[in-house]
Structure 1
Amino acid sequence: MDKLFEPTERNRTVEILTQNGQQFNMQIFAKVGHGFASRARLTDPYERWAKEQSFKGILDWFDFWLAKM
């Protein structure tokens, strides 16, 4: 469902980041749109959960990296 980051592009991105020794984090949720800012049907429990988890993941990422500054 994520037309912005198809599996082949995702796999290639992981390959490049790994080959270059980069630290990264990637969340993948099935059957929902791309990104924490995507519009979810909040009446659908799974879509709501995926949106909330994505947002939480972004906050956790910032907390982790900003603490290193």
Structure 2
Amino acid sequence: MVGHRMRDWYKSGINPQSKLPYLATYLGHKDIRSTLVYLNITPELLQNASERFRKNGAAALRTREILP
């Protein structure tokens, strides 16, 4: 459930990290560390992260500028 919710937020253009406190509260966790235990890497999530790095991370490394 945690992985699916994070993926759906990502696909909707929402920064999943900004929503983690809400998800942790919904699940009854005291903090996001308890919630992250339930996040498993999937091939789709790994592909999304790889594409995002190619798009933003590589340019940031070249220019040494942090992009949002």
TM-score by length of structure 1 reads 0.30
Task: Answer 1 or 2: higher relative contact order, Cα 8 Å, separation at least 6.
Answer: 1
Higher relative helix content: 2
TM-score by length of structure 2 reads 0.30
